[in-house]
Structures are given as structure tokens and as C-alpha cells.
Chain A
Amino acid sequence: MESKFKVNTEGKWYDNVDLAWRMNEYDEFAVEQAVQVKDQVGEADVTVLSIGIDKVKETMKKALAMGCDRGVHVNDDASYAKDPFEIASIIAAFARDKGFDLIFTGMQSQDRGSAQVGVLVAEMLGLPSVSTIVDFAFDNGQITAKRELEGGLRAIIKTQAPALLTCQLGLNTPRYPTLPNIMKAKKKELLTLEVATLLQDGARQETVKMYVPEKKGGGLVLEGDVGAIADQLVQILKEKTGVLA
């Protein structure tokens, strides 16, 4: 991801040119958790949903190779311009009549990082939501999740399915797809829906501008002989600070 990130000509989002596409890291934990629940209970059907341009289908193949049963691609060339409320309402519109027992989302996206979509979806569907989970157990509808809190504290939350959970990094170890599963994934159902069929609600917010902040000062790395560096450092501290005064 450490590519040359540039702001696009609109000035509102990243320029896609020369960027490699991959699954949002938080979502990898969500996919893994869903597949683990399936492995645990046996009779389960996991749907993976992604909103975006045609290219996201390639990324979804990985989720299918990891063990999801079917994929739903919501085709939207302008998904980047949608606010978290719109994204959530698209997902909620799809999920409303599907009767999912569990919905896992990433805690946030790596690009926008609003951390709103998961909880908004839960709200729209009238489901309990647990955010930032780092551990998850499922027993016959009973959910026990561990949340990560400030200062390294943990909280244990219990709730009942159906529920939505947003996944923090480290929740599990996302599996590396096996070759037979990669092959199987190629044949799995990958439904494409046009965004217009799901989007009923308008945006609640607008990105006005995205920009690279101005550089304010910078670090200085001293190199060379230890003695010389020490002298240099003392000199700088004397000239520019008051610590040696």
C-alpha cells in the first residue's frame, strides 16, 4: 500500500492509477471469522458482498477461495464518492430479506477509515452490533465476543444472533487459500447487482476536499562518526533549543 498515493483530479479521493488492489485488511479477518463459524457449525452458507468497480470481483475471488459460498458484487463506478451512510444503506437493502444470522464487517476500511459502515448497517437492520472484536465464540446462537478497549483493556460482550460484528486486526489468522479452493472459487456463484437497485437513500455527508498536509518541519538524521554526531547534536540543541541553557 505504500505506493505513491496521489489525490485525484476531483480533489476528493485517491487517484487509482498505479495502485494495486487488495482486500481491506480488516475485512480479511471478517471473512476468516465467517468461514470459521461455517467450519464450526457445518450447515451454513456464507455470502461475501463488495461494492465497487468491476475490479473488486478479483478481490472477492480471494474471499470465495477462503471459503465463502457465494459472492455479491454491487457494481458501482462511484462507490468511492459515497458516504458511509449510503454504503451502509446499500448493504442493508441487500441483507434485509436474507435472514442472515451473523454479519461480519471489517472494523473500518484501510482507505477511508470512517468505521461507520458496520454499525450503521446493524442500525438499519435493527440488529445488535458489537464493534472492534478481537475474539469471537458462537454457541447455538449465543455470541461471546471480546472487544478491544483503550489502554489494552478487554471487554467481554454477550449477545444473541442475529447480530453484526465489526472485526479488529488480530481477531484470527486469515487463512491462505489452498489451490483446490482457489479452483473451486472460480466456479462459485458471483452475482452482480447494479447499485441503483439497492440504493434508496441519499448521502448524509460530503467530502469537500482531500489534500496532502503541508510539511511542518521535519526530522533530522545525523550520520557519521559517533563523536562528531554528539558534537553536532550539542551544537543544534544549543542553537535551536533551550535545554542546555
Chain B
Amino acid sequence: MEFTREIYWNLGKGAGTLIPMYASACIAIAVLAWGFLQRVKVYRQAQPLNRTDNLGERIAGLVKAVLLQTKVLAVRGPGIAHALFFWGFFCLFIGTCLVALQADFTDLFFGVKFLKGPFYLLFSIVLDLAGLVAMVMLAGLFVRRYLVRPDGLESKVDDAVMHGLLFAILLTGFFIEGARMAVTELGTPLALWSPVGLMVAKAVASLGEASLRNLHLGLWWLHLVLVVGFIMLIPFTKFRHIFTTSANYLFADQGPRGNLVTLDLEDEAAETFGVAEIAEFTWKDVFDADACTLCKRCQDRCPAYATDKPLSPMKVVAQIGELAFEKPEANLIATVSKDALWACTTCRACQEICPAAIEHVNKIVDMRRNLVLMAGEFPGEEVTVAADNIEVNGNPFGLGYATRGDWAEALGVKPLAEDPEVDILYFVGCYASFDKRNIKIATSFIKLCQAAGVKVGILGKEEKCCGDPVRKLGNEYLYQAQAAENIELMKRYNVKKVVTTCPHCFNTLAKDYRDLDFALEVEHYTVFLEQLVTRGALKLSASSFDCTYHDSCYLGRYNDLYEQPRALLHVAGGKLIEMSKHERESFCCGAGGGRILAEENLGERIANKRVGMADATGTGLLVSSCPFCLTMFEDGIKGLEKDESLVAKDITEILVERLS
């Protein structure tokens, strides 16, 4: 016998079946389209933004992220369940399309049937198992959501509707199959190619053919109603993520990673800066809210949220969506709350993990820009003072700018103003220039360079704050003023290559300054020194020690520099015991986003939490490669009175002890 099955078995292939079926399908699709059109109108309230450039690359990204579920799978448990469910449901969708294609097109018009023979067997088993996998995964996700109830996972009507509807669609599908098989396939070898269907068939076989046919007919129409309902509900429930999240992969930010829009401050027509209401965002910011599935992965990783501050990146995105659809003219900042906005460390953990490619950080900075540039507001008086100090003396401490290079005098390192013939320019940054603890990083770095025969110059008193803290706080004006001076200087001295010890300086010079016509090669010292070690120019004598390493956000998540710092520690003889939150999942020290300038008055101190994690490794040594991190950890260690059990060091300090 030829392996196949009669399509529209028990229903008849007449107008009585086809017309209601296709009519309802058309209505469903029309409702779906209408629903999304309404939403498009909401997106269009906001500003234009081109996110369809490099279309080829974008489409490739979309296909990969959707079909391979790469972003979803970044979190194992629920990620695997979602991916398997998706693949199962996707197979069923393709199967249904093939059935429609044969029955109502190739067979109808050309008499061609392809669902037969070995291909039918494959079709049968794949769809049967796909249905099973989808059902099991759905059940698993149901247990997680409604019985295990992970912290922070909010369940709304949407979630109940989705679970119920999907389960009913799968279940009716199996019973339709079972009823049909009980009448037509029981006892044939073909039945074995639908194991789940066969099980159902055996269970219902005793009903007798007449009842089975009635059951089949009833369930078939019910199944159709459920599917039509599902399609119609897509734009009106979280089901919309099937389209919006997928589309968000297409519209995703293509970098440079962590880039903020460089505002045109000379724009005479600009009356407002930053974002205080929906219409000032771009359409993508509103669309992001529609792509969000409230999976809470961002919230789970947010250092502010984890330390009881009033910020959840998920909530911010949701609030933007609520306002856009319900009260677009309302004040966004009041809705999100200033405390929430100021709590962000721009650590990018939210954005890195987001399975929907949502851009959280720029939204927060956009709103901060409005607070600073339009209202002159900062998170606290101390930050206003620091910003003022940066404006006057180029450093947040308010120390005389002329003393910026004093630390280097004893090391024989000269400012470029005195000697511009150097191999590299060391852009020192404020903390390594002025802060007693962090000057050790600068001096260690110089000693390492000198040992490797690298001639280093600095800008000395001419160097200004790179502008990172104030920029991330929203003060684009002050950032651009600082940047312009630094850029002008570096151009004037014909600098060939810049090395920084601060990841914030590094990210700012290497990426943000690009928008301001600065194109020099910039490296963080971990990359620079690792090359010197590999080349054999920097010789270290290893002596073994245990440590844990903290990935700075601006080195790790912003720039993917995970290997070089670890390689340097390895060369120095370090045995690394990682904290559970490391690399992409690293937990911020609390200093990013300009928070280094602000007092931390809400909730637990982020640095204390991180120091606790480091202490738990039992290594007694917390290594970092960022002056901000080091500052926070020194404070955290003192605050927690962990001086006995934990020491914080920068990689440079460890290396300089091992110069051979």
C-alpha cells in the first residue's frame, strides 16, 4: 500500500468545508493585520530612525536568532523549553502549510500529491513528535510559571490565555489525529509512524466508528476555531512577540556596541534635548516595548534591582509601552521616576541578555539627558559639584588641573608638550591621575612599559576627563566639551596609539570619540600588555597565587575583552576561581553610568554585594582592571570589614610584582 492519508477525511472536500475554513482564515489574518496596523500608528508617534540599512546582514541576524533561537537559549532552563516548543510548533505550522499546499493547490489544480510514500512517513513522524515536544515543553513552562513561580515573573491574563489556547490547540490536534487513526489506520504499519496519535487512537477506539466520526468532526471545527482565535489574538496579547520580537532582531542595533547618539548641540532648531515624553523617543524605543515578553532576564541581572533600588529595566520598557499606547502625552520621567533613572549603572547586563534585542540603556540615558540638559538636575548635590569640577578643572575631584601629571614626575614620564616622540600615549584618566589608591595602577603600568622598552608619554596637565561619567549621566554638553579638548590635543601631538588603564576612558576614546572625528588606535592596557607578553617584550616571572577576576562592564560586555585579562593573570601564575557571575554575566561594581560620582543612598551598596561574591570564592584576592571597580571594591571591603579575608588589586599591580 502507498503510505498517505486522505486529507479532509470525514469532512468532505466540498464547499461546505473549504468556504467556512478559508473564510475564517482570511478573517483571522485580516484581524491580525488590522491589529498590527493600529500598533504601527502608535510606533509612528515617535521620531524616525533608520533601522533597515545593511538589510542583508539584518535578515541573516533575524533568521539565525529566530530559527536557531540563539538569544533565547542564552538562559538554559526556560530557554531550552521555549526553543523546543518553538521548533515543535514551527514544524506543525510547516506541516499544516504543506497539507494546505497539496490539498488546495497542487492536487486541486495539477493533480500532484507529495504527501505520500517515504516522505509521508517522515512527515507523519516529525509532526507527531513535534506535537509531543511542544506539549511537554508547554507543560513544563506552565509548571515553571504557575507552580514554581520564579521571583519577579509576573503572570497576567495574557499568559493564562496563551497557555490555555496553545495547549487546547495541541490537544485537539492529537485527538483529531487519534479519532481518524482509530477508524482508518489501526492495525496498519502506517500507524507506527504516528506514535502519539496511535496511543490516542487505541484509547478512543472502543467508541466505535460512528462516534469517532462525530468526535473527529466536532474537534476538527473546534481546532479550527481555536487556531483562528489564536491568529486573531496575536496583536492583542503577548502572542504578538511572535512577530514583534522577530522583527526586533531585524531592527536590532548594529553597533558599535553601547553607542549613544551624539547629540548635535549646535542645532539651532532644537528646542528640547533628551526625552521626557513618548514623541521624543524614536519609533524603535516604542517598538522595543512591544517586543518585550516580560521574561525578566534583564531584571534578574540588573545590579540596581538586585540591591533594592527602584529600577527594573523590564519595568522601564513596559512603562514606555504603557504610556505610548495609553497616555502618550504624559511625562515619561515622572512615570519611570527619577530615582529609577539615576540608579542605572549602564552596565549593559540587561541589554546583553535580552532575548528580544531591546535597547534599555540608551532609553535611560535619553531620559537622563532631559533631566540634566533641560532641568539642570543630577542625582545629588555631590554630582552637581563633581560636574562643575570637571568643567573647571577637568576632573571630578576639583583638584587643580595643573597637578594632573604630578604622579609621573618621579618615573621620568614626560608630557607630550615636553617630549612628543613616544611609542604610545598613555591616557591616564582622572582616577589614576589623582586618586592615591589608583595612582598605583598608573605607576605600575609605566613600570611595565618601561621594562618592555616602550616609551610612554602622557598629556599631563593638558589631559581632561574623557567625559564618560558625565555623558552617561546625561550631560552631553559637558562630555562634548571635554572630548573636543582631548581630541584637539591628541591630534596636535600626532599621537600614533593611545593606551588607557581605565575601561571607561577606553570605551569613550575608542568608540564615542569616533562620532567627533577622532580615529586613532586605542587599546586598553590588558590588550596592550598581553601583546607585549606574547611578543616576548614583557618578561614576567610567574609565582603562583589564587584569585578571582571581576570583569569590568566596559571591558567585558561593552568590548568583549574577556580573554586578555585572564591570559595576563595566567602568565603571572594566577589560578583563577571564577565567581558565578562572570564574563557576560558579570555583576557591576556599581560605578558605571556616572554612579562613581554619586552617593549610593538607596538599597544595599552594589559594591558590597560584589565584594561578597568575591569573598565567597575563598581566594582572598579580587582582581580587576578598572580604576572605578578598584575604588568601589576598596570601599566595599572596608564597608563590609573584609580587610582580613579579601584584598583588591589591579592586574597591573600583580604584574609589576612579577617583573623579571
Contact = CB atoms under 8 A, between A and B. Distances in A.
Contacts of A21: 392
A4 B405 CA distance: 13
Nearest to B369: A179
Nearest to B461: A18
B373 A179 contact: yes
B374 A178 contact: yes
Interface in B357-386: 372-378, 381, 384
A154 B403 CA distance: 40
B477 interface: yes
A178 B271 CA distance: 12
Interface string A43-59: 00000000000000000
B477 A182 contact: yes
A19 B400 contact: yes
Nearest to A28: B388
Contacts of B271: 180
Contacts of B384: 176
Q: Tell which of B372, B377, B400 has the most Cβ of chain A within 10 Å.
A: B400
B398 A1 contact: yes
A178 B393 contact: no
A4 B377 CA distance: 32
Interface string B16-37: 0000000000000000000000
Contact of B373 (A4, A19, A178): A178
Contacts of A173: 381
Contacts of A179: 265, 273, 373-374, 476-477
B400 A18 contact: yes
B571 to A, nearest CB: 34
A177 B378 CA distance: 12
Interface in B24-60: none
A20 B373 contact: no
A178 B375 contact: yes
A180 B266 CA distance: 10
Contacts of B381: 173
Contacts of A177: 376
A1 to B, nearest CB: 7
A3 B400 contact: yes
Nearest to A65: B376
A19 B400 CA distance: 7
Contacts of A4: 400, 402-403
A2 interface: yes
B440 to A, nearest CB: 17
Interface in B441-493: 461, 476-477
Given A20-B393, A179-B477, A2 B400 contact: yes
Interface residues of B, number: 26
Interface string B416-427: 000000000000
Nearest to A17: B402
Given A18-B461, A20-B392, A175 B376 contact: yes
A22 interface: yes
B401 interface: yes
Contacts of B621: none
Given A173-B381, A176-B384, A179-B273, A18 B402 contact: yes
Contacts of B374: 178-180
Contact of A3 (B273, B375, B402): B402
Q: Tell which of A19, A179, A180 has the most Cβ of chain B within 10 Å.
A: A179
B338 to A, nearest CB: 15
Contacts of A178: 373-376
Contacts of B402: 3-4, 18-19
B378 A176 contact: yes
A3 B397 CA distance: 12
A2 B398 CA distance: 8
Contacts of B375: 178
Interface in A156-179: 173, 175-179
Interface string B393-409: 10000111111000000
A22 B389 CA distance: 10
Nearest to B393: A20
Contacts of B400: 1-4, 18-20
A3 B399 CA distance: 6
Q: Tell which of A21, A177, A180 has the most Cβ of chain B within 10 Å.
A: A180
B606 interface: no
A3 B403 contact: yes
A243 to B, nearest CB: 32
Q: Tell which of B373, B378, B387, B401 has the most Cβ of chain A within 10 Å.
A: B373
B517 to A, nearest CB: 21
Contacts of A20: 392-393, 400-401
Contacts of A18: 400-402, 461
Contacts of B265: 179, 183
Interface in A139-198: 173, 175-180, 182-183
Nearest to A62: B391
Contacts of B392: 20-22
Interface in B271-322: 271-273
A1 B401 CA distance: 9
Given A2-B398, A182-B477, A176 B387 contact: yes
Contacts of A183: 265
B376 A176 contact: yes
A177 B399 CA distance: 22
A175 B374 CA distance: 12
A176 B376 CA distance: 5
Q: Tell which of A20, A176, A182 has the most Cβ of chain B within 10 Å.
A: A176
A214 to B, nearest CB: 23
Nearest to A22: B392
A98 B388 CA distance: 33
A182 B403 CA distance: 29
A238 B399 CA distance: 39
B395 to A, nearest CB: 10
A176 B372 CA distance: 8
Contacts of B401: 3, 18, 20
A179 B265 CA distance: 8
A176 B393 CA distance: 17
B93 to A, nearest CB: 52
Interface string A208-221: 00000000000000
A143 to B, nearest CB: 27
B364 to A, nearest CB: 19
Given A1-B398, A20-B393, A182-B477, A176 B403 contact: no
Interface in B216-267: 265
Nearest to A178: B376
Contacts of B461: 18
A43 B387 CA distance: 32
B408 to A, nearest CB: 16
Interface in A1-19: 1-4, 18-19
A176 B402 CA distance: 25
A110 to B, nearest CB: 13
A123 B47 CA distance: 58
A21 B273 CA distance: 28
A177 B403 CA distance: 28
Nearest to A21: B392
8 contacts: A3-B399, A3-B400, A3-B401, A3-B403, A18-B461, A20-B401, A176-B376, A178-B374
Given A1-B398, A2-B400, 13 more contacts: A4-B403, A19-B400, A20-B392, A22-B388, A173-B381, A175-B376, A176-B377, A177-B376, A178-B373, A178-B374, A178-B376, A180-B273, A183-B265
Which 3 residue pairs are nearest across A and B when measured between Cβ atoms?
A3-B400, A18-B402, A176-B376
